[in-house]
Structure 1
Amino acid sequence: MANFSTRKNVAVSDATLEITQIKSAIGGKQNQRDTLRSLGLKRIGHTVNRKADEVTVGMVNTVPHLVKVEEVNNG
């Protein structure tokens, strides 16, 4: 099984991030469940696109083991 989790190294930039939930929040801490919901993620495999601003990067770095982050080409 491949490990797709994101390390805590997502940085603020002008890029758009494609954030996908890859693991369940069941059994996790309440703040991690709240963070996933704030990102707009509702279930495993659900993907959202967000700007890489300070708020989004902070949330992604809170739950790196539950999400996969990819930078989207804006062109």
Structure 2
Amino acid sequence: MSKISIELIRSPVGYKYDQRETVKALGLRKLHDVVVKEDNPQIRGMISKIKHLVCVKELEEKEE
């Protein structure tokens, strides 16, 4: 499966509770934290909920 890199670029302070909890559920704690997750519909749904707070990049898989 492909992977995506998610970076927190804006603080969730001042946004709704469910958006702050979504940031936590993705494993993002501080500004500019980066996590790598599998690209699946559940993660894409979480990203779409907080798209104004994160930057998403698709990673290429290296075949060995």
TM-score category of the 2 structures, normalised to the smaller one: over 0.9
After TM superposition, the score normalised by the length of structure 1 is 0.80
The 5 Å alignment of 1:5-20 reads 14-20=1-7
Structure 2 distance, partners of 1:32, 1:44, is: 15
Give me the whole-angstrom Cα distance separating, in 2, the residues matched to 1:69 and 1:53.
13
| 2:45 alignment counterpart | 58
Matched, 1:37 2:24: yes
Q: Which amino acid aligns with 1:21?
A: L
Q: TM-score, normalised by structure 2?
A: 0.93
Residue 26 of structure 1: CA displacement? Answer: 0.5
What are structure 1's unaligned runs of at least 5 residues?
1-13
Q: How many aligned residue pairs are there?
A: 62
Identity %: 31
Residue 67 of structure 1 aligns with which residue?
Answer: 54
Q: What is the RMSD of the two structures over their aligned residues, measured on CA atoms?
A: 0.7
